[in-house]
Every structure is written in structure tokens, then in C-alpha cells.
């Protein structure tokens, strides 16, 4: 006997489709560095610069004798001799899209009834991730070469203690790089950059050495933000695990668990160190190659930034949506763009994990 069932009543025989207006972005799009870094004065040229200076080591063992005359030339110093100019180039970030006239008129599912509005919302999200990834990149600054526009220097180039290009293209500027080698608390060599690719997951001792080196290079303790990839986040959480917190004999450490509220906390979001408090923010856009997805280099990456004006964004043009005329009848077009760069006043005050 013929019978109409859910299997034979298809869309060709009057069955309606049920498509909700729900739409979920399945790619990460949070941009903690772009969202939290302070802004400094807007630049007025494609290369924006600032000055850096250092201080000599303390001298106190050979004071002038009372009444001694000074040599007119030999006993006076040039106190601006070590000043240098550092800078970064303004980079243009732009995306564009279009929607045909009929596509804009048809009824479509989604939170936006307009495909043009939906396209604008999507492009704005993508533009912010472009900016975030560039801020957290190893990219070296470069001027327009006739094929691509100006490139700004990313934070992992600024924090490279061995850099000889971009911002640190000569010996005078290289004197102001992040600390490449210092002396750790245990007397071993230390650096403000920890290489997880070579040395494996960062340990608590490694992190203490890193932040001590940053303190010795920057000259002051304070509060910091640590932007961290997911693997680094897990390594930091291991600092608090019982396996690392409980010892024996003279090396035993107290490890107290309060489970009264039935909650187990397995995440470290703040570190209180000898040299300042560190707030930890997760990020999926550190040390990523342009056009590539998340890889080991990004998962292991981290950058330690003081909560002051040491690192800021210089924005020449805020994110702007430009609607373009429909010339030729192809449809509505628009572009979103911004012009900005990263300002790093003191690389010695930064730490990094790669």
C-alpha cells in the first residue's frame, strides 16, 4: 500500500526546510593584545620614531679632591652622546567585499537580514585578527618595495635579543635590544627570552630567571601582562600542580587544598613574583605566520609586557568602513581599513617565550 512518509515527502514534493537564523563563528576571533594595549599619540608619517637613552654604570671610587680644578675638555662629558632613534613603520590593514544586487534582495537565513551587513560584520572580525596576528608576529619592519606596502615590526621581533635587522639594524640600536644573556638566581646564564622549542616546556625556575632578567634590564618591578599561547598556559598551570608543589624533607612545600565549595581550580591567571604581579591572558594569535593556522610556534609562545606605556599602539586611522559606489552595476562594494603601528619604548623591559 502506498503511503506518504517522512522519507518520500522531500523538498521536490512540498516538504519545507527548517533553517534557523543561528550563526556561530567556528574560528577564534578574540584579540587580547589589540584590545588591551594602550594607545599613544597618533603618528603623522609612515615612519614614526621615538628616542632611547641609557645610563652608565655607577662610579664612586675616585671622587674629585676638594679644591681641584676641572680640565675644560677632559673632565666634562657629553650626556646625550648615547641617544638613538628607534621607530616602526605604519602598516595598512585592509579587507574588502561586495554583494550583488539580487543577492542583497533575496531572503536569507542568519542573524542579519542583509548579506551586505553580514559581510561587513565578518570582515571587521577578520580585520581585527589580522591586526592581532601582526602585533604578535616576528615580522620585521620594511618600507614599501613597489609590490607590497610598508610592514610594521611585530612584538617578537622587538623582543629578539639577537636581532640585527629592522628596528635594530645597526650596532648603536642593538645596544637597546632585549637582554640576551644575564646571570640567573642560581648563577647560570639567563635571558629575557626562553626558547621552548629547544629547551622544552618552561619550568617555574625558567620563568623566575626570565622575569629576573627583565627586571635587571628594565630597572624596575611592577605589574605585567603575559599574553600566552595554549601550551604555555598549560605549562604555567603545572606550576601549581601537586607534582611540582610537594616535595620531601627539607625541600617539602606546603600544598593546601580547600575543596569546601566543591570546586577544583586548574588554571593560573595571576602569578605573584619577586619582581611584580603577572596577569596571564590566553591568546591564539601569537607568533603565527601570515596566512597560516595555529601551530607549535604559536602554542608555545608568550610575551611579557609591563602595564604602563612601554608598549602601545599608534593609530593613524581608526578602523573605518568605506562604502564604495556601485559603478558598472555589479553590486554594492565596501572596504574596511586602518593604519597603525606598534610602539616599543624599551625592549629591555620585555620578556618572551618562543
Is position 208 within any domain? yes
Would you state the pLDDT for residue 237?
A: 85
* Backbone angles phi and psi of 329, in degrees to 5: 85, 10
> What is the C-alpha separation between 150 and 8, in angstroms, rounded?
60
Is position 10 within any domain? no
> What is the C-alpha separation between 153 and 344, in angstroms, rounded?
10
Is position 148 within any domain? yes
Distances (CA, A) of 65 to 54, 61, 62: 28, 12, 9
Is position 17 within any domain? no
Higher pLDDT, 55 or 166: 166
Would you state the pLDDT for residue 222?
A: 83
**Secondary structure in 3-state letters for 262-322:** CCCCCCCCEEEECCEEEEEEECCCCCCCCCCCCCHHHHCCEEEEECCCCEEEEEEEEEEEE
Tally of structural domains, the chain: 1
> Comparing 203-212, 213-222, 298-307, 334-343, which segment has the lowest mean pLDDT?
213-222
> Comparing 13-27, 72-86, 122-136, which segment has the lowest mean pLDDT?
13-27
Q: Tell me the pLDDT tens digit for each residue of 312-331.
A: 999 999 999 999 999 888 99
Class of residue 73 by CB neighbours under 10 A (exposed 0-12, middle 13-18, buried 19+): exposed
State the residue range of the domain holding 277: 28-52+82-243+265-353
Exposure string for 180-195, b = 16+ CB within 10 A, e = fewer: bebebeeeeebbbbbe
> Comparing 194-208, 228-242, 244-258, which segment has the lowest mean pLDDT?
244-258
Average pLDDT over residues 184-206: 80
Would you state the pLDDT for residue 185?
A: 46
DSSP secondary-structure letter at 342? E
Is position 77 within any domain? no
* Assessment of whether the complete model's pTM goes beyond 0.85: yes
Would you state the pLDDT for residue 254?
A: 45
Q: Tell me the pLDDT tens digit for each residue of 222-231.
A: 899 999 999 9
Average pLDDT over residues 145-161: 97
Would you state the pLDDT for residue 161?
A: 94
What integer best gives the mean pLDDT of the chain? 87
Whether residue 38 contacts residue 312, with contact meaning beta carbons closer than 8 Å, is answered with yes
Whether residue 205 contacts residue 211, with contact meaning beta carbons closer than 8 Å, is answered with no
Is position 250 within any domain? no
Is position 256 within any domain? no
Q: Tell me the pLDDT tens digit for each residue of 62-109.
A: 898 999 998 888 889 899 999 999 999 999 999 999 999 999 898 888
Amino acid at each position: 500500500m502506498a503511503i506518504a512518509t517522512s522519507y518520500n515527502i522531500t523538498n521536490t514534493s512540498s516538504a519545507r526546510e527548517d533553517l534557523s537564523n543561528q550563526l556561530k563563528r567556528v574560528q577564534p576571533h578574540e584579540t587580547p593584545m589589540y584590545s588591551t594595549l594602550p594607545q599613544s599619540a597618533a603618528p603623522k608619517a609612515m615612519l614614526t620614531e621615538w628616542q632611547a637613552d641609557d645610563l652608565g654604570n655607577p662610579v664612586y671610587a675616585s671622587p674629585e679632591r676638594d679644591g681641584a680644578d676641572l680640565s675644560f675638555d677632559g673632565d666634562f662629558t657629553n650626556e646625550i652622546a648615547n641617544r638613538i632613534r628607534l621607530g616602526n613603520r605604519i602598516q595598512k590593514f585592509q579587507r574588502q567585499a561586495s554583494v550583488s544586487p539580487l543577492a542583497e534582495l533575496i531572503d536569507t537565513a542568519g542573524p542579519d537580514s542583509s548579506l551586505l551587513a553580514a559581510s561587513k560584520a565578518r570582515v571587521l572580525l577578520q580585520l581585527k585578527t589580522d591586526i592581532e596576528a601582526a602585533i604578535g608576529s616576528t615580522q620585521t619592519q620594511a618600507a614599501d618595495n613597489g609590490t607590497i606596502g610598508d610592514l610594521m615590526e611585530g612584538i617578537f621581533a622587538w623582543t629578539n635579543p639577537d636581532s640585527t635587522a629592522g628596528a635594530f639594524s645597526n650596532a648603536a640600536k642593538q645596544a637597546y635590544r632585549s637582554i640576551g644573556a644575564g646571570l640567573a638566581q642560581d648563577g647560570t646564564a639567563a635571558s629575557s627570552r626562553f626558547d621552548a622549542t629547544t629547551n622544552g616546556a618552561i619550568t617555574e625556575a625558567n620563568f623566575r630567571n626570565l622575569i629576573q632578567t627583565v627586571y635587571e634590564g628594565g630597572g624596575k618591578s611592577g605589574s605585567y601582562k603575559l599574553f600566552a599561547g595554549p601550551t604555555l598556559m598549560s605549562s604555567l598551570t603545572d606550576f601549581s600542580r601537586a607534582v611540582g608543589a610537594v616535595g620531601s624533607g627539607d625541600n617539602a612545600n606546603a600544598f593546601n587544598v580547600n575543596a569546601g565549595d566543591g570546586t577544583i581550580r586548574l588554571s593560573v591567571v595571576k602569578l605573584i613574583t619577586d619582581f611584580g604581579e603577572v596577569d596571564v591572558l590566553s591568546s591564539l594569535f601569537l607568533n603565527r605566520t601570515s596566512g597560516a593556522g595555529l601551530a607549535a610556534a604559536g602554542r608555545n609562545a608568550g610575551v611579557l609586557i609591563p602595564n604602563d606605556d612601554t608598549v602601545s599602539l599608534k593609530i593613524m586611522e581608526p578602523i573605518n568602513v568605506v562604502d564604495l559606489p556601485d559603478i558598472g552595476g555589479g553590486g554594492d562594494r565596501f572596504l574596511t581599513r586602518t593604519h597603525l603601528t606598534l610602539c616599543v619604548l624599551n625592549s629591555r623591559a620585555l620578556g618572551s617565550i618562543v
